[in-house]
Amino acid sequence: MTNRGIIASGDHARIEQHNLNLPQGALQAAVPEAAITRLNNLPALNSRVFKGRDDALAFLRALPSTGTGIVAQSVRGMGGVGKSTLALHHARDCLAAGHGPVWWLDASSAGEMTAGLAALATAVNPVNTVLPIDEAAEWAVAWLQGRSGWLLILDNAEDPADLRPYLGRLSTGQVLITTRRDLPWQDVGTPLLLDTLAPRSSLAVLQEITGRHDDGDVASLIELADELGHLPLALQQAGAYLAQTRTSAGTYLAQLRTDPAGVLATAPPGDAQHRTIAQLWSVTLEALRTTDPNAVELLRILAYCAPDPLPRDLLVPALSAPQAVDHALGVLAAYSLITLSETDVAVHRLVQTVVRTTTPHPSPDPRSGRLRRLLRRSRPDAPLHPSQTALVLVSLGLPSGEPEDVTTWPDWQTLLPHIRTTSAQQPATGATSPLLTTVLGRAAFYLRARGQSSEALPLEERALRATEADLGPDHPETAIRLNNLALTLGDVGQHARALPLFERALRIAQAALGPDHNDTATCLSNLARTFDELGRHIEALPLAEQALQIS
């Protein structure tokens, strides 16, 4: 048969012919076969300090990397916990052990993955530069399939669909995926869950970065690590700032507490490319505002609770339906913004800080009590600020019955950190002021019942300040708060401090309720008991007699 060349048919047939001229030797591999195990594109380490991940590294080191049917491994955790840093240290260990090639891919999108695989194809053989990017990526996959012992790192994976075309086909080497997304990843083994550092490791990170190993620095560095929630990126950011500015840990901590938004967004001087905590989560939060506003609303409420586990059933009234709450929690967990279980939900303290700084502040109520009451009547359905909603939800979850009932104490103990945190976020006056004083008062009652009156004191003091600001210094409710605070002071033996509070409470009760009211009798009895405790028995006697006559 004779070859007659190219035959085209059809009315509009068109033939294009291209010639590619390659220099001599261009078809030879860029990397000799003997050196292929050293081929890599690893980024530079972002810090020389790496502590507290020995167990995780040992786990990755034990994974198979040669043979067939190897299942991909994922490393999952919240942003800033050090997933990429762990993967990078593991990759360098592999290279040092003679395993390779090692190739790092940005897996945040399908396009980035395709470009990364095409870059591998070009690195192996420059002739692949002339291929369309999709074909070059496919060439890289086929090349990896024909080898074993390699490591492919898919960093910052966001969508399982982007990985699906590759994972089932890449099974002759080790595929390591880093992701914050808690999603169903097919063809991936049980994820390695990366948590925050242990306190000892956090201290070691700060000491190594700052070079401050003296005993006098330890206490302040420990306090700073606690405030940062032992999150590796936050520790790196703080340590680098301390080292470069020669700032003390105490000064940085004070700035962090005063201006968390500014501190968490500030990179070390001279290192503008350094990722900051604020940058880390701001992009995710901005995306969620558009795609899942319910998730953002719920996260803002959680930001005003404590970082301790919160019973998730307390959140049911937060949205329109229980299913909406479950869905929003699932979205937040999928982005590793919360830690979610069947019973509890928790948020890292730095996530809370960043969310609070991006949440609009509540509108202040007028200073005039009369104007405040008129405003509340004119807008009874005005939306609450997330901080106020958090307090309402915690109040709805308080155990029923009296706080001295020991069967309710486990529930009280679970809610106590959230009571303290939500109450600290409330203004002295506002829509939730009456609720604030009730929650504080009941929590203080629980602590007194447990014999922890010293811990009840700040709650009683805050309840008194809020009542005075909301209702005025001469209101009967103010007298009740004065009595409760004075009783708590008496519990801890501070009778001299309690005395003027009892005297003031009596004056208010007599003026507002009359000399023969039962509350007046209670004030008289409390005052008489305090005089007795102070050894002033002559002053105590007529007060006790008067209280007895009224009752």
- The pLDDT value recorded for residue 298 is 95
Residue 418 CA, distance from chain mean position:
15
Confidence of residue 71 (pLDDT cuts 50, 70, 90): confident
How far apart are alpha carbons 62 and 123 in whole angstroms?
A: 28
- Summarize the confidence of residues 30-53 as an average pLDDT: 84
Instruction: Please answer whether residues 70 and 174 qualify as being in contact, where contact means their C-beta atoms are separated by less than 8 angstroms.
Output: yes
CATH topology classification for 277-357:
Arc Repressor Mutant, subunit A (1.10.10)
Contact between residue 44 and residue 89 where contact means Cβ atoms under 8 Å apart = no
* Model confidence band, residue 364 (pLDDT cutoffs 50, 70, 90): low
Domain 33-193, CATH class in plain words: alpha beta
DSSP reduced 3-state for 17: coil
Q: Which tokens go with 351? A: 């996530």
- The helix/strand/coil state of 76 is strand
Q: How confident is the model at residue 369 (pLDDT cuts 50, 70, 90)?
A: very low
Is residue 303 within 8 Å of 386, Cβ to Cβ? yes
What CA–CA distance (Å, rounded) separates 97 from 86? 17
pLDDT at 377: 46
Structure tokens at 331: 């979205």
Comparing 33-193 with 390-550, is the CATH topology the same?
A: no
Sign of dihedral through CA atoms 404, 406, 408, 412?
A: positive
Q: What would the mean pLDDT of 285-304 be, rounded to a whole number?
A: 90
CA distances from 241 to 14, 209, 237, 255, 272 (A): 64, 10, 6, 12, 12
Q: Which residue has the tokens 């936050």?
A: 234
Exposure pattern of 271-294 as b/e (b: 16+ CB <10 Å)?
eeebebbbebbbebbeebeeebeb
Q: How far apart are the first and last CA of the chain?
A: 125
pLDDT exceeds 80 at position 52:
yes
**What's domain 390-550's superfamily in CATH?**
Tetratricopeptide repeat domain (1.25.40.10)
Higher pLDDT, 476 or 368: 476
Output the pTM of the full model.
0.76
- Nearest CA to 393 out of 295, 303, 289 is that of 303
What confidence tens digit (pLDDT) does each residue in 320-355 have? 899 999 999 999 998 888 999 999 999 999 899 889
Q: In b/e form, how buried is each residue of 199-229, taking b as 16+ CB within 10 angstroms? A: eebbbbbbbbbbebeeeebeebbbebbebbb
357: Cβ contacts below 8 Å, ≥ 6 apart: 260, 261, 264, 278
Q: Enumerate the domain spans of the chain.
A: 33-193, 199-264, 277-357, 390-550
Q: Label residue 375 by pLDDT band (50, 70, 90).
A: very low
Q: What DSSP assignment string belongs to 145-189?
A: HT--S-EEEEET---HHHHHHHHTT--SSEEEEEES-----TTB-
pLDDT for res 44: 86
Assess whether pLDDT exceeds 70 at residue 257. yes
pLDDT for 371 equals 41
Chain centroid, CA 412 distance in Å: 23
Q: Looking at the predicted structure, is the pLDDT value of residue 26 above 60?
A: no
Q: Compute the residue count for the chain.
A: 551
User: Is residue 187 within 8 Å of 72, Cβ to Cβ?
Assistant: yes
Give the angle subtended at the CA of 448 by the CAs of 503 and 473, to the nearest 5°. Answer: 35
